[in-house]
Amino acid sequence: GFALPREIGLGVAFEPSSRWLLSFELNWINWADAVKTVTLRATRPANAAAPGVYELVAPADWRNQWVFATGLAYRPDRQTTYYAGHNYGKSPIPEKNASPLLAGHLEHHLTLGAAKRLGPEWTLTGGIEYLLPVKANYSSPLFGEAELRNEAVFLHVMLGRRW
């Protein structure tokens, strides 16, 4: 039941020199039409005293989202490129509808990366993405009053080949 939103984006890049690239992007994400409710359905409990089927349908009412991204690339030589970036998008989830089941409260992302050409056909690319901490208070029939905290670090590695 999770729908993907429509998205419209506009970006521009500028090369102030042959070694530097600056980029800017603005995206509009139509979450309001994609995520209206969240359904939790649990069946076959291990405890015989629990109900056989538990279903909780909660309003999501996600808002549309604007995401602003900036990027920087530096190429010290023909085989190496370094990258840095930041994007910001206010969470589309109203705090009153927050839940640990769908933890989408992420707003600031910082990225660093590098690419190295290993020859005429192969490139090794890697990066790290850090999602800055964010928290939200919520109340639900299943979890009661609680605080949701999100923070994450992702590592990306890719080996590419040109054909």
Please indicate whether residue 2 or residue 68 has the higher confidence score (pLDDT): 68
pTM of the model: 0.78
pLDDT one-digit tens code per residue, 122-154: 999 999 999 999 887 777 666 677 777 888 999
| Number of H-type helices and E-type strands within the chain | 1, 9
- Residue-wise pLDDT for 40-57, tens only, equals 788 888 888 888 888 878
Mean of the per-residue pLDDT values for the chain? 89
Percent of the chain with pLDDT over 90: 56
More confident residue, 123 or 61: 123
Q: DSSP for 51-103?
A: -SEEEEEEE--PPPEEEEEEEEEEEEETTEEEEEEEEEE--SS-GGG--GGG-
